[in-house]
Every structure is written in structure tokens, then in C-alpha cells.
Amino acid sequence: MTSYKLLLLPGDGIGPEVMAEVEKVVAWLGKAGLATFETETDLVGGAAIDVHGKPLADATLAKADAADAILLGAVGGPKWTGVAYENRPEAGLLRLRKELGLFANLRPAICYPALASASALKPELVEGLDMMIVRELTGGVYFGEPKEITTLPDGSKRAVDTQVYTTAEIERIAHVAFDLARKRSGRVASAEKNNVMKTGVLWKEVVTRVHQEHYAEVELEHVLADNCAMQLVRRPKQFDVLVTDNLFGDVLSDVAAMLTGSLGMLPSASLGAIDAKGTRKALYEPVHGSAPDIAGKGFANPIAMIGSLAMCLRYSFGLGDAADQLDAAITRTLASGARTRDIASKGGKVISTAEMGDAILREL
């Protein structure tokens, strides 16, 4: 059996706690003969700043580049508020995304039946919700230049960020979205602000052309990003695959995640281009952040992190069966009533991060 090289980057806050549960599952996969992994653990974000003075050491980047896949916990926290912009914890994650070319961020927003009542929305609006946000991850305002603060003659300041998109960048993310739609419900919504932004104009134009030339059987709808945010709240189930740029994707995917009532349970995949050998770089991480306020307390829900491993099995290694087993174990664990603090009903029994990990292992 092939052995896969997995780089674990727990990061900050609750990252290490939830990653510990993933390690248990990785060990189980090996013992069960489903997949063997060579794992290595390294630092990213604030944890790396504390040791190396920067949020991603070159040696770590080299390991990430050599790995078959990366699992990342979360980065950031108040401890590093004073750190220079260039060296803030988030810069480590952004550098990983950019240097490895992880341009396609897949963020499923799934409402687990057992948790529909945890949503802020009325249950009938979210029950059965299963959408996929495809966010462009290496372009747009996150990386465009100039990106700077200059001092004006009168001593006041002027800050600039630049959003850039090229035809090629939009084409490749559009292909990812349409390919996914083919395997799902056959519907794509594309969100931009073409009424205000030139990048929106080009986005709409390129997505429209890719659709016409290659995916005529998929249904395509264009929606303005502000209206899209509204529609997500009003009637989320109208969407299946939603493709959008880096910044709108950041906001819209957070809204979608929150709608499901399962924020602590949602994984994500960040994928690179498929190379000549048919492989692609990939990083998997929970949608939730580092939650420094609850770090170290055993409150964190490890399901998003374990679900990220399931996505990794599926997308990086073609181990759909193992991924299915893992997803099914999560569903059964939830059905059995196991609840970490974030998803517990009022007064209901609460278990710890490690107990949730163990409960999932028992179901496996």
C-alpha cells in the first residue's frame, strides 16, 4: 500500500487540540489497513512566530511543498496583535496558499440534520442545506500590488489595496466550479459586483464564456455579491455550487457556514492545479478560526478538523471509501447524541474535544 506524506500544521488557539484528534484517526486508518501515512508536524502562525520570528519558516514551506497533503488547524490570536503586518500569523497561511498555488478553496456548507435547530435561521430554511462555495484563493485583493500605506506631505496617510484578476485566474476557478456542479446538482451561481468593479465585469464575462464553451448542460446564474449575501440568509437552499472571488468568498462562505448551525463542523479544501502526474497540491483546514478564547479548555469541536482529513482522503488520495466511513462515523456519533459545547442544546450533556474524538473512533 502507498504511504502518503502528510504534513500537520496545528497552528494556534484550538488548532493543536483538534489536530490531536486527527492524529488518533490517522493512526486508526493505518491499523485498519485503509491507508498508511508518514506524518510530520511543524509550526505555522503565531506558534511559528514565537520560535522563528516569522509565521512560516522556509524549511516548513519546503516540507509543505514536499508533502502529499497538508492539514492545518488555525492561525492567529490576540497574543500577536503587536507583530508587524508582514509577520502577522495570517501571513503564514497566506504564504502557504500563494506559494503552493492553492487557488481553489472548497467550502461545503452542510446542515447536519441533528443540528438544524442550532442554526439562527428557522429550521425549515436550513434543513437539508448542502451547498459548496468555491472561493478563488490566490488572487484578488489579498495579493494584488500596490498594497501599501504611504505618508502624505501633510503627515496624514493613504492606504491602498489592489484587486487584480486575469482571464486565466478566472477560467481555472470557473472550471473547478462547473466540474463540481456536474457531479452535484448541475447548478452554479457566480457572485461579483460587476455593477461597480471592473474585476466583476471580467469575472462575469469569463465565467459566462467558460460556461458556454464547455458546460452548456450546467445551469449558470449570475448574482451580485450584496444580493447574494441577502439571498443566503433569505433562502439558502436556492444555491448549490457558488463560485466567487477571494474577498467575497471570505465573507459569503462565513455567512453560509454560520447558517448551517454547524460552524465547528465544517471542513475546507484548498487545491492547486493538477500536474502532469495527475496530482495536485492540497491543504485541508476547518472553516472555523483559532478561537483563542476557548483554547486549551477542551471545549473545541474536533469534527471540522476530522472532516478535513476526510476531505483529504477523498480529494488528494482518491480514498473515497475511507472518507465515506469517516463521514458516516461522524454522522452516527452525532446521531448518538454526542455534543461538544458549541453544538449542545441548552442543558444538554457536553463532552470534551478528546471525548468527541474517541466517540468517533468507537464508531469507526
220 to 239, contacts with ligand IPM by CB under 6 A?
Answer: 226
* Catalytic residue list contains 58: no
What is residue 151's three-state secondary structure?
strand
Q: Which does 127 bind (CB under 5 to 8 A by kind): a copy of itself, ligand IPM, none?
A: none
Binder of a copy of itself out of 101, 144, 186, 292 (CB under 8 A): 144
Q: How far apart are CA 117 and CA 146, in angstroms?
A: 45
From first CA to last CA, the distance across the chain in angstroms is 20
CB 58 within 8 A of CB 102: no
159 to 218, contacts with a copy of itself by CB under 8 A?
Answer: 159-168, 193, 195-199, 201-203
Q: Is 99 in the site for ligand IPM (CB under 6 A)?
A: no
Size of the site for a copy of itself (CB under 8 A): 58
223 to 262, contacts with a copy of itself by CB under 8 A?
Answer: 225-227, 229-230, 233-235, 247-248, 250-252, 254-255, 257-259
Binder of a copy of itself out of 1, 152, 216, 276 (CB under 8 A): 152
Query: In angstroms, what CA-CA distances link 325 with 24, 98, 110, 306, 361?
Result: 15, 32, 18, 12, 11
Which one-letter amino acid corresponds to residue 137? L
Least distance between a copy of itself and beta carbon 130 (Å)? 18
Cis peptide before 16 (omega within 30 of 0): no
Q: Segment contacting ligand IPM (CB under 6 A): 17-25, 87-95, 292-300, 307-315? A: 87-95
For ligand IPM, the closer of residues 162 and 195 by Cβ is 195
Chain centre to alpha carbon of residue 289: 10
Catalytic residue among 4, 112, 142, 315: 142
Least distance between a copy of itself and beta carbon 21 (Å)? 24
* Window 20-59: contact mask with a copy of itself (x via CB under 8 A): ----------------------------------------
* Window 178-207: contact mask with ligand IPM (x via CB under 6 A): -----------------xx-----------
What is residue 29's three-state secondary structure?
helix
Does 301 appear as a known binding residue?
yes
Catalytic residue among 130, 179, 254, 327: 254
Q: How far apart are CA 35 and CA 319, in angstroms?
A: 8
Query: In angstroms, what CA-CA distances link 225 with 13, 41, 231, 279?
Result: 31, 38, 10, 33
Q: How far apart are CA 250 and CA 97, in angstroms?
A: 14
Phi, psi of 54 (to 5 degrees): -145, 155
CB 303 within 8 A of CB 326: no
Q: Which does 159 bind (CB under 5 to 8 A by kind): ligand IPM, a copy of itself, none?
A: a copy of itself
Residue with cell 468507537: 362
**Strands 3-11 and 69-74, sheet pairing:** parallel
Does 179 appear as a known binding residue?
no
Q: Cα 205–207–213 angle (5° rounding)?
A: 100
Q: How far apart are CA 288 and CA 264, in angstroms?
A: 6
Least distance between a copy of itself and beta carbon 313 (Å)? 28
Q: Name the binding residues for substrate.
A: 97, 107, 135, 226
Just list the catalytic residues: 142, 193, 226, 250, 254
Binding site for ligand IPM (CB under 6 A): 76, 90, 93-94, 195-196, 226, 250
Binding site for a copy of itself (CB under 8 A): 76, 85, 88, 90, 94, 120-122, 125, 141-142, 144, 147-149, 152, 156-168, 193, 195-199, 201-203, 225-227, 229-230, 233-235, 247-248, 250-252, 254-255, 257-259, 263, 289
